Structure 1
């Protein structure tokens, strides 16, 4: 056999894990944020997570001008993830990190 054929067979014969792709994860812990996949078989935290703003806690100040000059001001608080929340996640190509995209209802 040729070198190319031998190399191709060797590469194919490896037991490389398949790409996880898009999956549903569970928030195992809030602080530090820890995401569990496959019923706890994989846990991701810290530098292994890329978290979208839509799943973080943040505050938005607002001001409304109403009838006869009345003004209402306040703050809207967007809650972050809580333990037990289901989240949509996407794995990196090497399955070593997760992008936390959004909370699922």
Structure 2
């Protein structure tokens, strides 16, 4: 049986395949689950890090109308109400955008060197 032992030693010595940057698909939101490698691997929340800019982005916002500050109104779909807010202090005004991952979204996944944790960098879409 020395030949089986020798073959096993060669197999153990083979370089393991490293996962590089890849496309992941959101398959669960609460808790977060991401499928990679055509569904062969499901990454759980404990193995995932999300880039802060994907979750929340803040911008300093300044609205000028002939040197004055004023109102901003945002109209969205007919089913959603009109959103309006007043800017009264330029220095304290900021706009915060929150993003959400939805089931079916595709994301760019980059593994850490040890391939035990993975970083969700951004939502992506295939170009048309």
TM-score (norm 1): 0.70
Report if aligned partners of 2:56, 2:96 keep a CA contact under 8 Å in 1. Answer: no
- Say how many residue pairs are matched: 96
Structure 2, unmatched stretches of 5+, are: 1-8, 72-86, 88-93
- Report the more deviating stretch, 75-84 or 16-25: 75-84
- Report the more deviating stretch, 64-73 or 80-89: 64-73
The structural deviation recorded for 1:91 is: 1.4
2:115 matches 1:104: no
Match of 2:49 in 1: 50
Match of 1:81 in 2: 101
Q: Deviations over 1:46-98 (max 9, x none)?
A: 22011102321456573413226242338452422211111111112332221
Q: Any idea what SS the aligned residue of 2:63 has?
A: strand
Q: CA RMSD in A?
A: 2.7
Measure, in 1, the Cα distance between the counterparts of 2:101 and 2:53. Answer: 10
Measure, in 1, the Cα distance between the counterparts of 2:24 and 2:96. Answer: 27
Report if aligned partners of 1:23, 1:89 keep a CA contact under 8 Å in 2. Answer: yes
TM-score (norm 2): 0.59
Q: Any idea what SS the aligned residue of 1:54 has?
A: helix
Structure index of larger Rg: 2
